[in-house]
Structure 1
């Protein structure tokens, strides 16, 4: 049974120049204890789809879905009070920018204790002890002293660890990590990823890792969902995706990895992601795809069967000849 199940999720923002669909008919499935990576270029709707799940989008966003459930509970029908009991407790998120997510007016210890006060029955002494335990879990030295620090007094890596500690404070069943290593140096990135995967293995929680770094995906994920221009274009186990990508966009992403380069210059994907006013009538990737024909440019592509990676494509790569016919 899926821990998180989303069907046909769409998010449309109201802008001064008209409506803009940032997420378009996306499906998401995460099983208990699974690590799912969601990858794609900036602007592909990765973060927006998860913020919609958390109920954290602004009033300018219109969210629709045929199904949006967590552990069998319908998120669409939940009252605000019920959702607040769930978010931060069973379902938690690590945001992309810790300095803009932490409140600069309060110490980091106060902010974690507040989460514990809202979602647990621990008394003040027990909440303090839990904060020290959490800081030790995420590798923050001298936890007693650091609990009294304000966000600006800590480094970016330390603030990211504080965000992780806050997210796991109530032992969530599903943790969403949105670009958790952005703006961190390489050594700190490796430490944060090891920390997340170690916590996932230790607690058995589900983990959604939002990233654009395919190297991170290869090292940590079990399954990969690829998004492009708001649509999910492929979904495969990580080994199968790296070995036999079925969507041309996925193949182009993998070909651009430095370790896969066979020539002096890295291959690139020509063109840009379509925006609000230049979305093609057919496949959204068709203006940049070397395999595209008139069918691709004029007719919306079908979703291929699981054995072809659920690729959103008229002509999936590495397909049997009979499937192409």
Structure 2
């Protein structure tokens, strides 16, 4: 039985211009101890989907799903009180912009101990000791003194460590890390990723890592989901995805990794992720796709079989032999990347070398 199973999750916002579907029918399955990556540009619905799972979206949002099950229990059938017992204890989340996520009116110790008070039976003395222990575990020096610090007195990296301490305070079974290295310098990014992976292994917890950085995915994840404009456009094991992407959007993301670049200039994806007012017909990626034809512009694409990465595409890369003249710029003769453009392990090693 999977730890978390989500089927056909959608999130729709009521706006002044009408309803806007920010997340459109995504599926997720994650097992205990697994690291799942969710990758895509800003505006792909990565964070919104997980905030919908956590019940942290504003009243203007409507969350629907055919199934949301945690350890086999139907979360949609639970009362609000039952859900609160799971959210924050068994499922925890690290948010973007840690400085903004911490309450500026309370010191660090108070905020950590409030999380413990809400989800454990520890008394005041035990909560104090546990808070000190948590700051030690995340590598914060002088933890007793840091408990009295306010968020504005901490650096970005230190604030992120505090957020990780709060999220892991109750030893969750699933940790959702939403862009945990955003706005941090490269050295601190590497330290935070190391910390998250160490904690994940120590506690045996599953982790969903949300990011726009394919290099981070190569270094940390076992499986990866690629999202675009609220839709899942590809789902594969990370090594397979890096070796043979099947959706043109995935291939374009990978081609922008410096370690895979074959020319003097990095390839770019023209255009932007469509918003509420400029959703195209057919495939949502068709205005930016070098492979798009009239079918792509008019017909909603089918979901391909697992052998083709479950790509949401009419013409998945690698499905059929292609003539060199039909191959989009930046792709190899078989519709994939050319040899020698880097494997996940190579990219991870290069990133670590740069960080140090």
Q: Which TM class, normalised by the smaller chain length?
A: over 0.9
- What are the equivalent positions in structure 2 for 1:12-27 lying under 5 Å apart? 12-27=12-27
For residue 187 of structure 2, give the secondary structure of its aligned residue in structure 1: helix
Provide structure 1 residue ranges, at least 5 long, that are not aligned to the other structure: none
Aligned CA RMSD, in angstroms, stands at 0.9
Three-state SS of the structure 2 residue aligned to 1:20 is strand
Alpha carbons of structure 1 residues 320 and 202: separation in structure 2 relative to 1, 3 Å: farther
The residue that corresponds to 1:204 in the other structure is 204
Q: 2:299 matched to 1:299?
A: yes
1:263 maps to: 263
- What is the aligned partner in structure 2 of residue 61 from structure 1? 61
SS of equivalent residue, structure 1 residue 284: coil
Q: How does 1:274-285 map to 2 (within 5 A)?
A: 274-285=274-285
- Deviation of 1:320 after TM superposition, in Å, equals 4.8
What is the match of residue 159 of structure 1?
Answer: 159
Q: What residue is the counterpart of 2:346 in the other structure?
A: none
Other-structure match for 2:45: 45
Taking the TM superposition and a 5 Å limit, the aligned residue runs for 1:1-325 are: 1-320=1-320
Distance 2:297 2:212 in 1: 26
> For residues 201-224 of structure 1, what are the alpha-carbon distances to aligned partners after superposition, in whole Å with 9 as ceiling and x for unaligned?
111100000000111111111111
Q: What secondary structure is seen at the aligned counterpart in 2 of 1:28?
A: strand
CA distance in 1, matches of 2:101, 2:77: 27
Any idea what SS the aligned residue of 1:26 has? strand
* Cα distance between partner residues in 2 of 1:10 and 1:69: 15
The CA distance in 1 between the partners of 2:158 and 2:262, in whole Å, is: 38
Mean Cα displacement is larger for which, 287-296 or 206-215? 287-296
Q: Aligned to 2:5, what secondary structure does the other structure show?
A: strand
Which residue pairs with 2:334 in the alignment? none
Unaligned residue ranges in structure 2 (runs of 5+): 322-356
Hey, what's the Cα distance between the residues in 2 that align with 1:230 and 1:110? 37
How far, CA to CA, are the matches of 2:249 and 2:84 in structure 1? 38
TM-score, L = length of structure 2: 0.89
Distance 2:164 2:271 in 1: 37
1:223-278 per-residue CA deviation (whole Å, 9 max, x = no partner) reads 11000000000011110000000000000110111111111211111122111122
TM-score by length of 1: 0.97
Would you say how many aligned residue pairs link Structure 1 and Structure 2? 321
Cα distance between partner residues in 2 of 1:3 and 1:85: 16
CA distance in 1, matches of 2:35, 2:140: 24
